[in-house]
Amino acid sequence: MLLKPPFEGAHIFPKTKRRQWYYKKRFIIPISLLMAIIIAAAIVGSVLGTRSRTIHQVDYTKVKQSIAALMEDKDYVDGNYGPLFIRMGWLASGTYSQNDSTGGSNGGCIRFEPQSTWPVNNGLDIARDRLESVYRDYPGLTYADLYTLAAAVAVEKMGGPTIKWRQGRVDFKNGKDSPPSNRLPSASQNAQTIRNIFNRMGFDDREIVALIGAHSLGRCHKNRSNFEGPWTLTPTTFSNEFFRGLLEDTWEERNWQGPTQFEDVQTKSLLRLPSDIILIEDPQFKIYVIEYANNGSQFATDFANAFEKLLELGVEFSGTY
Ligand code: HEM
């Protein structure tokens, strides 16, 4: 009661009857409008932002040219990234399981941990780094498409068959949907284990042998897999030399400080992994090794079909070839 002012207006800060400026109509309307515009812009921006890579039209013919232009490089340890691009396409796709339809190249998870750090994927960061400029140059291109297209381009550019390739893979935002780490084969597994792994992807014996024929290209690097050496004398030319060498050369275990691998007795310069040798030890696999050693064009045809199938495992396409 004592605090009651003795007369109206006796406050130190007298109450004013005037309304605050921001209650005035001429402020309320533009401010509300401005806020509405900001909110709408934020919504539209976020929708377009997440889709911006898919609404662009990508010229895949040009993408292929850009990839091809990146393959040869005298500063790269092997002079040609082609074999590494093929290995990446294979390892990105070979995680597929037809049992639960998970894995495969869709999502591009191979660029994220944990998948990027699986030992079997050692060295693939070199391929991804090499391809990064292509990703940046073509808005709308996804990593998942890029990694598989690079593999297809590499086969063709190194004298192999044309690989039919379709776009449509999306990129996941992180690696939380990566498949389990034990789905890819290791070079020291036996024939039946390797068969089971490829069967899980949906491949039969003929396709398995054709696919492993990719080892006519490239080589093993001690610092990536612990294995060392090339499979053929022409590691940047697609051929059936891998099969011919398996049958025509004599292979014995290499005596060295490393995991079990085989070398040709004659020159001791070529390698076969234990998982390559099983292709002549297993009678069912050997049928196709003989066929491909004798018929290079049959190998090229079968490889193209199996590789195309591999790169598409688990991908839902809306478009056509
Ligand atoms: C049983 C199945 C397979 C095993 C155990 C296996 C194992 C390996 C290993 C250990 C390397 C050496 C990696 C390095 O040190 O750089 C390698 C390289 C390679 N693999 Fe396979 N691989 C298999 C199937 C395949 C398939 C299906 C393809 C393709 C269709 C493929 C394509 C390649 C290529 C092109 C390279 C050479 C990479 C380079 O030169 O950088 N491999 N593989």
The 10s digit of each residue's pLDDT in 286-305 is 999 999 999 999 999 999 99
182 CA from centroid of ligand 1 (Å): 16
Closest residue to atom 6 of ligand 1, CA basis? 187
Among candidates 308, 274, 97, 247, which has minimal Cα distance to 184?
Answer: 97
**Complete edge-to-edge strand list for the sheet that includes strand 271-272:** 251-253, 262-264, 271-272
pLDDT tier for residue 11 given thresholds of 50, 70 and 90: low
Among candidates 215, 184, 192, which has minimal Cα distance to 282?
Answer: 192
294 CA from centroid of ligand 1 (Å): 23
**Is the pLDDT confidence value at 196 over 70?**
yes
Rg for the chain, CA atoms, rounded: 30
Structural domains of the chain sorted by starting position, each given as residue range(s) with its CATH number in brackets = 33-184 (1.10.520.10), 188-313 (1.10.420.10)
215 CA from centroid of ligand 1 (Å): 6
Closest residue to atom 8 of ligand 1, CA basis? 187
Query: For the residues 87-110, what does the mean pLDDT come to?
Result: 98
The tokens for 115 are 């998948």
Question: Between the CA of residue 237 and those of 158, 167, 253, what are the distances in Å?
Answer: 5, 26, 26
> In sequence order, what are the residues at sequence separation of 6 or more whose Cβ sits closer than 8 angstroms to the Cβ of residue 308?
152, 163, 164, 165
Write down the pLDDT at residue 56.
81
Write down the pLDDT at residue 51.
45
pLDDT tier for residue 42 given thresholds of 50, 70 and 90: confident
Write down the pLDDT at residue 45.
64
Distance CA 296, CA 135 (A): 34
Query: For the residues 159-172, what does the mean pLDDT come to?
Result: 97
> In sequence order, what are the residues at sequence separation of 6 or more whose Cβ sits closer than 8 angstroms to the Cβ of residue 252?
262, 263, 265
**Is the pLDDT confidence value at 285 over 80?**
yes
The preferred substitution site among 76, 84, 88, 90 for testing ligand 1, maximizing ligand atoms within 8 Å of CB, is: 90
**Is the pLDDT confidence value at 22 over 70?**
no
90 CA from centroid of ligand 1 (Å): 8
Question: Between the CA of residue 215 and those of 40, 155, 245, what are the distances in Å?
Answer: 55, 12, 11
pLDDT tier for residue 135 given thresholds of 50, 70 and 90: very high
List the end-to-end C-alpha distance of the chain, in Å, as a whole number.
88
Looking at the CA of residue 94, tell me the nearest atom of ligand 1.
27
pLDDT tier for residue 4 given thresholds of 50, 70 and 90: low
Query: For the residues 272-280, what does the mean pLDDT come to?
Result: 98
Lining ligand 1 with CB less than 6 A are 83-84, 86-87, 90, 123, 185-187, 194, 211-212, 214-215, 217-221, 224-225, 227, 273, 275, 307
214 CA from centroid of ligand 1 (Å): 8
SS3 (DSSP) at 89: helix
Query: For the residues 203-226, what does the mean pLDDT come to?
Result: 98
**Is the pLDDT confidence value at 226 over 90?**
yes
**Is the pLDDT confidence value at 311 over 70?**
yes
Closest residue to atom 40 of ligand 1, CA basis? 218
Closest residue to atom 26 of ligand 1, CA basis? 212
**Is the pLDDT confidence value at 280 over 80?**
yes
Write down the pLDDT at residue 319.
60
**Is the pLDDT confidence value at 150 over 70?**
yes
**Unique residue bearing structure tokens 């109509």:** 25
Strand partners of residue 264:
251
185 CA from centroid of ligand 1 (Å): 10
220 CA from centroid of ligand 1 (Å): 8
pLDDT tier for residue 225 given thresholds of 50, 70 and 90: very high
The preferred substitution site among 72, 87, 182, 212 for testing ligand 1, maximizing ligand atoms within 8 Å of CB, is: 87
